[in-house]
Chain A
Amino acid sequence: MDAPVISIEGLTKRYGQVEAVRELDLEVRRGEVFGLLGPNGAGKTTTILTLLGLSEPTSGTVRVLGLDPAREAAKVKRQVGYVPDAVGFYPNLTARQNLRYTARLNGIADAEDRIAELLEQVGLAHAADRRAGAYSRGMLQRLGIADALVKSPSVMILDEPTIAIDPDGVRQVLALIRELRDQHQMTVLLSSHLLYQVQEVCDRVGIFVRGRLVAVGSVEELARRLADGRTVLEVGVAGDADAAARRLAELDGVKDVDREGDLLLAVCEDEARGRIAGALTGAGHTLLHLRQRSSHLDEIYHRYFHEQN
Chain B
Amino acid sequence: MVARKEIADHLHSARFFVVAALLTVTGVAAVYAAGGRIRDVASQATDDPSLFLKLFTVAIENTPFAFVNFVALIGPLLGIAFGFDAVSSERAQRTLPRLLAQPIHRDDVVNGKFAAGLAVIGMLLTALMLLVAAVGVVRLGIVPRAEDVGRMLVYLVVSIVYIGVWLAFALMLSILLQRAATAALTAIGTWLVLSLLAALIVQMVAGMFAEPGGVENAGLQQALGRASPAIVYEEVTAALLTPELRTLGVIMPEQAFRAVPGQLPLGQSLLLVWPQLAGLVALAAVVFAVAYIAFLRQEVRV
Contact = CB atoms under 8 A, between A and B. Distances in A.
B252 to A, nearest CB: 59
Output the residue of A73, A75, A102, A105 with the most chain B CB within 10 A.
A105
B5 interface: yes
A84 B299 contact: no
Contacts of A104: 1, 5
A185 B152 CA distance: 62
Interface stretch (A51-59, A115-123, A233-241, A258-266): A51-59
Contacts of B93: 88-91
Interface in B111-147: none
A26 to B, nearest CB: 20
A105 B97 contact: no
A292 interface: no
Interface stretch (B45-53, B99-107, B230-238): B99-107
A281 interface: no
Contacts of B1: 104-105
Contact of A105 (B102, B299, B301): B102
B22 interface: no
Nearest to A78: B103
Contacts of B153: none
A125 B101 CA distance: 24
Contacts of A82: 97-98, 101
A87 B300 contact: no
Interface in A66-88: 73-75, 77-78, 80-82, 84, 86-88
B94 A86 contact: yes
B217 to A, nearest CB: 51
Interface residues of B, number: 22
Contacts of A147: 98
A75 B103 contact: yes
B16 to A, nearest CB: 13
A104 B200 CA distance: 51
Interface string A45-63: 1000100101110000000
B103 A77 contact: yes
B258 interface: no
Contact of B105 (A73, A86, A92, A151): A73
A75 B103 CA distance: 7
Contacts of B2: 105
A106 interface: yes
Nearest to A88: B94
A45 B299 CA distance: 12
Nearest to B13: A92
B94 A87 contact: yes
B98 A144 contact: yes
B45 to A, nearest CB: 53
B94 A105 contact: no
A102 B9 contact: no
Given A45-B301, A49-B300, A54 B97 contact: yes
Contacts of B300: 49, 54-55
Contacts of B215: none
A86 B104 contact: no
Interface residues of A, number: 32
A84 B103 contact: no
A233 to B, nearest CB: 44
B100 A92 contact: no
Nearest to A15: B299
A244 B223 CA distance: 99
A73 B103 CA distance: 7
A78 B103 CA distance: 5
Contact of B9 (A54, A55, A74, A92): A92
Output the residue of B100, B102, B300 with the most chain A CB within 10 A.
B102
Given A45-B301, A52-B101, A106-B102, A84 B5 contact: no
Contacts of B299: 49, 54-56
Interface in B247-276: none
B95 A105 contact: no
Contacts of B101: 52, 54, 77, 80-82, 84, 148
B302 interface: yes
A52 B101 CA distance: 7
B156 to A, nearest CB: 31
B95 A89 contact: yes
Nearest to B297: A56
A49 B301 contact: yes
A105 to B, nearest CB: 4
A87 B300 CA distance: 13
Nearest 6 pairs between A and B by C-beta? A88-B94, A82-B101, A78-B103, A105-B102, A77-B103, A84-B97
19 contacts: A49-B300, A54-B100, A54-B299, A73-B106, A78-B103, A82-B97, A82-B98, A84-B98, A87-B98, A88-B94, A88-B95, A88-B98, A89-B93, A90-B9, A92-B9, A102-B98, A105-B2, A105-B99, A144-B98
